Amino acid sequence: MLALGEARVECALGSAPTAMIVRPEIEQYAEAHTTPHEPLLEELAAETRATLPDPEMLSGPVLGRLLELLVFASGARRVLEIGTYSGYSALSMARGLPPDGRIDTCELEERRAEVARRYIARSPYRDRIRVHVGPAQETLARLEGPFDFVFIDADKTGYDAYYEAVLPKLAPRGLIVFDNTLQSGRVVDAPEEGEGTRAIVALNRKLRDDPRVACVLLTVRDGVTVVRRR
């Protein structure tokens, strides 16, 4: 059996390490046995890899389907996303929404938001997704809850502040989902390596011990933590 950090490989799409923390062939098997993403998302993924920095930040079909199923199973109507990137995860979650559902998604960089807007405009969900550009905390201050589902996938050092900002706006049966909570295995192999990893280590401990919530940390891709109110 491989140690947690042992299965890191170079990402085929760039020089950064992939988010995989299990053997690559198992990741490939999981993706091959997940409902494939639609042609529009394939095109979005291809453009993202070709034109945007950090293409490993794409959610991909496995996490995308997980988000879709969580949104669908929870019956969420109002979704908040912190960290749009190029729009893959927002479009994935939109598939799980009812017809009257909507997503507010926050992106700091206009270049990324422009890509997301173009693909959202071409999707069946164009009227359900609104992209907000600017610092997420400023956007959050303007948005009123309650939110049924919150997906946080942005700057890791900001996760704790985002958590405290959205928890009061979470619906009683709402869920918060954090991405990258295993930091490519660094939470075990090198917990002091980098400000982002240190922030995630502290967040993971806080979520486990927080009497306000219950959580589970899943070993999906780079770690996905699901949180609900107690």
CATH of residue 31's domain is 3.40.50.150
Instruction: Give the number of domains in the chain.
Output: 1
Asked, for residue 220, whether it belongs to a domain, the answer is yes
What would the mean pLDDT of 169-175 be, rounded to a whole number? 98
Asked, for residue 5, whether it belongs to a domain, the answer is no
Structural contact between residues 65 and 23, judged by C-beta atoms closer than 8 angstroms: no
Asked, for residue 114, whether it belongs to a domain, the answer is yes
Stretch (H or E) spanning 27:
helix 24-32
- Is residue 3 pLDDT above 80, yes or no? no
Threshold 0.75, pTM exceeds: yes
Asked, for residue 179, whether it belongs to a domain, the answer is yes
Strands, E assignment, the chain: 78-82, 102-107, 129-133, 147-152, 170-179, 213-218, 224-229
Q: In terms of residue numbers, what domain contains 58?
A: 24-229
Asked, for residue 100, whether it belongs to a domain, the answer is yes
- Is residue 8 pLDDT above 90, yes or no? no
